[in-house]
Amino acid sequence: MNIKLSGEGPELSRLVYGAWRLKEDPKGATSQRILSKINTALEHGITSFDHADIYGDYGCEELFGKALSDSPRLRDSLQLITKCGIKLVSEQRPDHVIKHYDTSREHIIWSVEQSLRSLRTDRIDLLLIHRPDPLLDADEVAEAFVALRTEGKALHFGVSNFSVAQMELLASRLPFPLVTNQVECSVMQMEALHDGTLDYCQRICLSPMAWSPLGGGAIFSSPSPREQRIRDVLELIAQSHQATLDQIAIAWLLRHPAKIIPVIGTNDTDRLIRLSRSKEIVLSRTEWFQIWSASAGRPVP
């Protein structure tokens, strides 16, 4: 089941596979291993893959692209998302002397050219500005987006970690809509539910993406009272659905009317299959608020 991000698309799968941990896989990062994860995702309805130029110290896109080149027929079966705008201090980028942001027209276009080469593809389905840049010139970003779309190098555009005001500024300069905002959101991190981010997404009929949808794993291992409280409620609800704790945490995001798209980054194919089944779980309103209250540490006002 795919979902259209906005009136103009594109369509993404209901869950997205996040590639930021490709180099950290204990079973290795060979093309064969990466292809096994791509195929597993596709077989279970996950057709969208989320990248950023900086992931894996500028190495994950190259690994993914090499794997994809071994099975080029897969390209038309999936959607490629990538992000740009952060410059890391890295041996791969010796000219970077300090971590900073760069959303200049020149850098955005250069970054996309690099991503196209690394991913070994002729197009990016969705390009995001990775972080808000205090020096972002909305007119200059718009020029870059229009040029990339005209050339067919990037088909759709969005942002990541932007506030409503920052989204509105950039959108005001574009002749086409931004289609998503990828933000941190989980049972552990609920700020987007209350700071206007998800309200704005609903208002303009835009589906947001959620990074770290399992709270970075803290709900599974942290001994703190808050995490234990959340764990207890998730486990109780999981029992009633014959599900697992992580499936319920993902289902909690899917239940939101903004049509949140979780980005899952596991290297474990069995867990990938398990999480893909989260979309079959529909939480009741009572269950949703039980989890909210456990996270907030109080009932609703």
Could you list the active site residues? 55
Round to whole Å and give the CA distance between 154 and 160. Answer: 16
Round to whole Å and give the CA distance between 84 and 160. Answer: 10
Round to whole Å and give the CA distance between 208 and 253. Answer: 11
Measured CA distances, 141 to 104, 128, 131, 233 (Å): 6, 11, 13, 44
Round to whole Å and give the CA distance between 25 and 123. Answer: 27
Amino acid at the residue 173: R
Phi and psi of 265, rounded to 5°? Answer: -120, 25
Give me 140's structure tokens: 């200059």
Measured CA distances, 106 to 81, 94, 111, 113, 183 (Å): 20, 18, 9, 11, 25
Assess contact for 125 and 10: CB atoms under 8 A.
yes
Phi and psi of 87, rounded to 5°? Answer: -115, 115
Q: Which residues in 136-164 are b (16+ Cβ under 10 Å) and which e?
A: bebebbbbbbbebbeeebbbbbbbbbbbb
Assess contact for 262 and 250: CB atoms under 8 A.
yes
